[in-house]
Structure 1
Amino acid sequence: MFNWNDLTFFLELARQNRLMPAARRLKVDHTTVSRRIAELEKDLAIKLFDRRPDGFVLTEQGHRLFAIAERIEQEAGEIQEAFGAAPSTPVGRVRVASMEGIGAFFLARIFAEFAEKEPGIVVELVTERHLINLTKREADISISFVPPTGQRLVVRKAGSMRLALFASPDYLARHGTPAKPKDLAKHMFVDYVEDLVSIRAVHWLLDVLEPPAVAFRSTSMHAQQNAVAAGAGIALLPLFSAKANATLVPVLPEEVVVMRDIYVSVHEDLEYMTRIRAVMRYLTHVFQREADFLTRF
């Protein structure tokens, strides 16, 4: 029979990935952490961690135990709350995957706010052009513009965002301001690199038109917006990013309206973990609170 107390050491090392940080949080020597993990692995007859140069990485068996141990930790916290004891503070890392644009222009700001509310949780924001696989544990939570697919995923629509055409004053002074949608055929555009678009819903300019002439392409929405600000052409940009540059001018804002839903997803094995639940609850609140910012000029 294994020692239940060893689960505390296991959870902390899984969250910190290194002996010294785990030991500091547990207020013990790092050799104690190492010994207790070795004893737990011996008692369970499984390998919980791969020891690598960059730290301790959970094995497949380690991931299974981690999910169980966090549920035990959560139940212990509920016992504390039920009988009037102070609930434990959620701690650990939560990896959130999303697209580069919303990550840089929106999520970075709101997660800075979250860090003040929950100092024990460290959010790791991973930005990719493709959808992260939650089933393979590439991240804990996904924020995307299309609902991800996979076994045992909990997918919720958290909100919506609006996109609009924008240009710089310099570009419009040189090329004129379109008065009607048909006038767009005479203009230059900034767009994505077509053969590198992994998610078709992100190639949102195609909702408006097939751009007749493209001055600049990039896989980065941030780079596209900077090119627009420099006068390269017109681009379809989310309001959450365009609002970061007050010099950008909306083009045909009443005639061209493009919307995208925002989905927040998590694997059901992780949904009720204390730190995951804290981030999910916060995201739900923020997308409701920021609805006007995301959808209105």
Structure 2
Amino acid sequence: MTQRSAPLGIRPSPDDLLVLLAVARLGRFAAAATALGVNSTTASRRIAALEKAVGGRLLVRGPRGWELTEMGRGVLGVAEEIEKSMQLLATPLRARSDGLGGLVRIAASDGFVARFAVPALARLQEAHPRLAIELISATQRVRQNRSGVDLEIVVGQPDVHRAIARHLTDYRLGLYAADTYLNRHGTPGALADLAQHRLIFYVESSLQVDELDRAAKQLPEPVASMRSTSVFAHVEAAVAGAGVAILPAYLADARPELRRLLREDFDYQVSYWTVAREESLRSNAVRAVLAALRTEVAERAAELRGQPD
């Protein structure tokens, strides 16, 4: 199907091109509008005006969000050049040697955010003062529409559509308890003994991560449990003597109050994966964030594996 030629006398607006760029990266008009500080109606109107100016459809609605047409992918390159020029104009001359700036939104589990993302990105921002970061902490499966985020770090290999998923790192889950709990209830000698202990883990109805669900299913049904949607609540519950917790080694090994249990029977490997739209990965800022995260987890691989007994 041939595209219509652009109507004579109508020039694309730079503002409209920046809206296209935001929608392409985030997949939703509402998310793009929020990022640009306008409302969804304005964003939709700007895309309509841009399509009229270039003479063809630039976006089509898919089952997982708005996606670029072939013409849209061609126009996107122009939008990216305008974004770079606008960033350059907003930068003092003395700082223009540093071309890295803009906002990057990242969704990841709260444990990964606190332990790895925050220190890595703090150093990155120190080197690039114009770079802004927003971190959304959530332990969930991959967002198929990728609404409102440039980059996701998810647990387990994801099944994605029109996005690029890459393995980031592996980490270990183990069983941990405090001596205060073990002194009162005894130390389990085998996995079967856990049926007589309280288990600390995620709220079952809200757990959407298959890898974590499979880890829990390796254990017998406990006599009772304490559940939370936050891994940090799991750690503190274990420290407080509330039961036996399934915890990432990189969090639990840092707490001297906790003792690892039954390592030979339960040493579960899980993986973190990065997911981003191709349009997002064309951003220098997103690529820099990815590089910083990869460096961080590579340098701290021993923490992710867990300390030897």
* CA–CA distance in structure 2, aligned partners of residues 173 and 6 of structure 1: 66
**Aligned CA-pair RMSD:** 3.7
Decide whether the 8 Å contact of 1:103 with 1:127 is kept in 2: yes
Equivalences, count: 258
C-alpha displacement at 1:179, in angstroms? 2.9
Amino acid at match of 1:106: F
Counterpart for residue 282 of structure 2:
272
Which deviates the most, 4-13 or 235-244? 4-13
Counterpart for residue 238 of structure 1:
248
Q: Residue 152 of structure 2: SS of its match in structure 1?
A: strand
C-alpha displacement at 1:149, in angstroms? 2.9
**CA 1:295/1:43 → structure 2, altered by over 3 Å: closer, same or farther?**
closer
Pick from 149, 163, 173 the counterpart of residue 153 of structure 1.
163
Pick from 175, 187, 190 the counterpart of residue 165 of structure 1.
175
**CA 1:71/1:150 → structure 2, altered by over 3 Å: closer, same or farther?**
farther
- Is 1:112 equivalent to 2:122 in the alignment? yes
1:61-93 deviations in whole A, cap 9, x for unaligned? 9x987774225666999xxxxxxxx75421111
1:192-211 deviations in whole A, cap 9, x for unaligned? 22122122222354253133
1:181-234 deviations in whole A, cap 9, x for unaligned? 333333221122212212222235425313322231112221121111111100
**CA 1:263/1:75 → structure 2, altered by over 3 Å: closer, same or farther?**
farther
Pick from 301, 304, 307 the counterpart of residue 291 of structure 1.
301
Structure 1 gap ranges (5+): 20-38, 47-58, 78-85
Counterpart for residue 265 of structure 2:
255
C-alpha displacement at 1:8, in angstroms? 11
Pick from 164, 176, 179 the counterpart of residue 186 of structure 2.
176
* CA–CA distance in structure 2, aligned partners of residues 154 and 286 of structure 1: 21
C-alpha displacement at 1:168, in angstroms? 0.9
* CA–CA distance in structure 2, aligned partners of residues 202 and 40 of structure 1: 41
Decide whether the 8 Å contact of 2:191 with 2:265 is kept in 1: yes
| 1:1-297 correspondence to structure 2 within 5 Å | 2=11, 17=36, 68-70=78-80, 88-133=98-143, 135-203=145-213, 205-297=215-307
* CA–CA distance in structure 2, aligned partners of residues 157 and 60 of structure 1: 24
Decide whether the 8 Å contact of 2:116 with 2:296 is kept in 1: no
* CA–CA distance in structure 2, aligned partners of residues 94 and 41 of structure 1: 26
Amino acid at match of 1:253: R
* CA–CA distance in structure 2, aligned partners of residues 242 and 204 of structure 1: 20
1:239-293 deviations in whole A, cap 9, x for unaligned? 1221342211111223321010110111112212111111122122222222111
Q: Where does structure 1 differ by over 6 angstroms across 4 or more consecutive aligned residues?
A: 3-16, 39-44, 63-67, 74-77
Q: Residue 123 of structure 1: SS of its match in structure 2?
A: strand
* CA–CA distance in structure 2, aligned partners of residues 2 and 234 of structure 1: 65
Decide whether the 8 Å contact of 1:134 with 1:140 is kept in 2: no
**CA 1:151/1:75 → structure 2, altered by over 3 Å: closer, same or farther?**
farther
Structure 2 gap ranges (5+): 1-9, 23-31, 39-45, 54-65, 88-95
* CA–CA distance in structure 2, aligned partners of residues 180 and 40 of structure 1: 62
TM-score (norm 1): 0.72
Amino acid at match of 1:215: S
* CA–CA distance in structure 1, aligned partners of residues 206 and 198 of structure 2: 21
Decide whether the 8 Å contact of 2:14 with 2:82 is kept in 1: no
Counterpart for residue 5 of structure 2:
none
* CA–CA distance in structure 2, aligned partners of residues 231 and 102 of structure 1: 24
Q: Residue 210 of structure 1: SS of its match in structure 2?
A: coil
Amino acid at match of 1:269: E
Counterpart for residue 41 of structure 2:
none
* CA–CA distance in structure 1, aligned partners of residues 131 and 123 of structure 2: 12
Identity of aligned residues (%): 28
Q: Residue 282 of structure 1: SS of its match in structure 2?
A: helix
Decide whether the 8 Å contact of 2:18 with 2:79 is kept in 1: no
* CA–CA distance in structure 2, aligned partners of residues 183 and 42 of structure 1: 67
Q: Residue 247 of structure 2: SS of its match in structure 1?
A: strand
